[in-house]
Structure 1
Amino acid sequence: MPILPLTPPVPFVPMRLSPVNLKILAYTLDVEGFDSSDVLRRCGIESADDLQEDGDWLPLHLFDRLMAAAIEETGDPFFGLVAGKSIALMKYGAITPLALSTPSLRQLLEDIRRFALLAVERAEVELLESGQTACLMVNPVIENGLSGRFRTEQVATSAVQMLRFTGASTSDIYQVEFPYAIPTGHEQRYLSTFGPRILFERKACSISFNPAILDLRMPTHDPVAYMTARTRAESVLAARQAGTDMADAVRQWLLNAFPRLPTVSETAAQMGMNERSFRRQLGMLGTSHAELAQECQRLMAERLLAEGKLPLKQIADALGFSSVHSFHRAFRRWSGLTPSAWREGKGLAQDQG
């Protein structure tokens, strides 16, 4: 049976995020008196020391698991309300020094939009202005299930805290909306966090507020500290984007080359570099040619298994494996499941969804 060509124009790459997100949540658990080390181990992370701010970005599903584990550890399905105003948010990341020295709320929101890319692949808060109302739209990176509500409430709580930090009073916060039903018996927690004007079962999560506070001058504004923090953030962002562009280019090249796996020297030449410089550049990004190749093999394997059109032998051939057995062994190392079990579980999840 001939091998089907595998040259998708835009390969699917699962969303990833900076380890700083997991580190903040772990620190939040510690601050609130819980055992973050146990929660991290349940997610396959030995300790918070393994979560370096400038370390390799992690799959989004790992953050999803950590939020679910945090809810289980605390026994509080509304722990996102706690996490959204924890001092842990001020301990890490490039946004904190900008927030402490920003000239105005408008500038802070612009900085959050721009530098959110240092922590996640897209900003989770967007400013909209219309007439006499300003609105923050909350678009969490995870939207579904308990973890989705956790992240929605964490981001929304942080946004309201930010408004208050920059001078908003209770009357300045016009309305807070959530896209799910009101949690019966927990109304007071929402009132104390967001104020008296809350609506549930709306289309999206949003926070409407008085636009006059957008341009109030911040009493904590320090021009020198702000420019220093912004220059540093711009430098880190430029390095991050340059690295991401190169890694994505390598992924695209490898995906289009299947079932053949290019050598390191071939890929280096494709990137316009000699092999030594290429290896060094990937090392600076915390990865290697072999790791990117395995990542691409897993991405394509999961896509083909989810489609359910090809037998395992043909998938193994299409991905460059020498046998079904070697594909089986590699996939189990990646996911903890056999290819057949993964495909059955994916189909079941889709049927239930």
Structure 2
Amino acid sequence: MQNGTRYTMANLQAYMLRCLADVSPGFGIDPERLCLGLGFEVADLADPDCRLSFRQASEMIRRAVTLAPGRGIGLEVANQETISSIGLVGYALMTSPTFGDAVRLGMSLQNHAGAMLEFDCVEEGATMSVVAANRFHEPDIEVFLVEEAFGSFMTIARTLAGGEFRPSSIDFSYACPAYVAQYERTFDCPLRFGQKDNVFSCDLAWAKRPIPTYDPLSHRQVLSFFDELRAQEDEDSELIESVERIVRRDLRRAPTLEAVAAQLCMSERTLRRRLARSGVSFQALLDGVRQRRATALLSNPRLSIEEVAYEVGFSDSHNFRRAFKRWTGHGPRGVRFAV
């Protein structure tokens, strides 16, 4: 179970999850079953305004992987995706001058493409590589995430650079799967499993390949859109940090939404609206701060459960136990033993 509001903040684009729902019947899976009880339905994934949390997305994927064990479901999702599957980010890439420009731009816009891994582009010698790392510790869905990411890289690269594009090599941090033939068909290049990192590499010469759909005016327009979006996100991130800072000052007597809004010189309604725009509620922020503080205090054996409860704003230790289990999936005593 992950800590922090960023794991539960609903700011993840649903592009890839929509494709997962589309391919799941081919694996004998009812897509509605993948969403059951997660706070959204399959139809919601088609809404361009739909945003999900990493927790919701990872649970949907986990269910799919569990229901289709030993199948390359991540590769199959990638095979169904096109460059338009990542929305306006795809358009920004298509209007870039060269393949290298598109790759570097993609790195800067990865959060807008619904990426569930973190990507970094490295140019070394005659090789250009994209390294994929986990945002959160989710080992049971890592294979799916890497399959989908690297598989979609193939589709995007061939759309931008031409059908003859071929990686020079791909490294995977996990063991070779039983369905490795599916990997070989998808990537058509040397594959190495059990490596230190997940790395998709190609000849640096591809970076100079002009993109046929390059359009300078359209490119400037879409970049301007993302610049405005980033400015808004920076403002929202600053607001969230300010709210958390105010709440942390005295968790024993946690302030109300109205009190926090007053300290930020805005109305309660404005604060609620701006938090909603960021995909988070005041209660979720408060719970996140309480959870992190409680987990830290539980590592101190001199403090009783009752004292920890009081320190994070609960006058009743029973209510604290219930809340802590809701936050983490475990009771405070179990977490204390684990710590």
Aligning the two structures, in what range does the TM-score lie when normalised by the shorter sequence?
0.7 to 0.9
Aligned pairs for 1:58-97 (under 5 A) are 58=53, 60-87=54-81, 90-97=84-91
Aligned residue runs from structure 1 range 1-353, under 5 A: 15-16=7-8, 18=10, 20-22=12-14, 24-33=16-25, 34-41=29-36, 44-50=38-44, 54=49, 58=53, 60-87=54-81, 90-118=84-112, 124-142=118-136, 144-167=138-161, 172-184=166-178, 186-275=179-268, 277-305=270-298, 310-334=303-327, 338-340=331-333, 347=338
Change (3 A) 1:160 1:307: farther
Moved more, 302-311 or 175-184: 302-311
Q: What's the RMSD between the two structures over aligned residues?
A: 3.2
* CA–CA distance in structure 1, aligned partners of residues 247 and 257 of structure 2: 11
Amino acid at match of 1:201: G
Give how far 1:332 is off: 4.7
The amino acid of 1:327's aligned partner reads F
Amino acid at match of 1:271: L
SS at match of 1:220: coil
Equivalent-residue separation in structure 2 for 1:35 and 1:89 (angstroms): 26
Cα gap change, 1:137 to 1:269, in 2 (>3 Å):
same
Give the superposition deviation at 1:259.
1.8
Tell me the CA shift for residue 136 of structure 1: 1.5
User: Using the alignment, how far apart are the partners of 1:62 and 1:304 within structure 2?
Assistant: 28
Seq. identity, %: 21
Match of 1:4 in 2: none
Distance change in 2, residues 1:113/1:272 (3 Å): farther
Q: Distance in 2 between matches of 1:290 and 1:143?
A: 24
| 1:108 Cα deviation from its structure 2 partner | 1.7
2:44 and 2:269 mapped to 1: Cα distance? 28
Asked whether the 8 Å contact 1:20–1:53 carries over to 2, the reply is no
Q: Could you tell me how far apart the structure 2 residues matched to 1:197 and 1:288 are? A: 47
Superposition deviation, residue 207 in structure 1: 1.8
Q: Distance in 2 between matches of 1:203 and 1:141?
A: 16
1:282-332 CA distance string (max 9 Å, x none): 344454434432332233334444666632201110011121133234335
Offset at 1:148? 1.0
| Partner AA of 1:39 in structure 2 | L
TM-score by length of 2: 0.83
Contact 1:142 1:151 in 2 (8 A): no
Give the direction of change, closer, same or farther, for the CA distance of 1:181–1:276 in structure 2 (3 Å limit): closer
CA–CA distance in 2 between the matches of 1:332 and 1:12?
15
- CA 1:91–1:18: 2 relative to 1, 3 Å: farther
User: Unaligned stretches of 5+ in structure 2?
Assistant: none
Gaps of 5+ in 1: 1-10
Q: Which deviates further from its counterpart, 49-58 or 317-326?
A: 49-58
Q: Which moved more, 1:219-228 or 1:127-136?
A: 219-228
1:212 is displaced (CA, Å) by: 1.5
Give per-residue Cα distances to partners, 1:111-155, cap 9 Å, x unaligned: 222222335699722211122221121224356533011112211
Aligned length in residues: 333
Q: 1:107 to 1:113 in 2, by over 3 A?
A: same
Q: Name the CA shift for 1:152/1:283 in 2 (closer, same or farther; >3 Å).
A: closer
Partners of 1:315 and 1:88 in 2: CA distance: 51
Cα distance change on mapping 1:227 and 1:78 into 2, 3 Å: same
What letter matches 1:25 in structure 2? L
Q: How has the CA–CA distance of structure 1 residues 233 and 196 changed in structure 2, closer, same or farther, with 3 Å as cutoff?
A: same
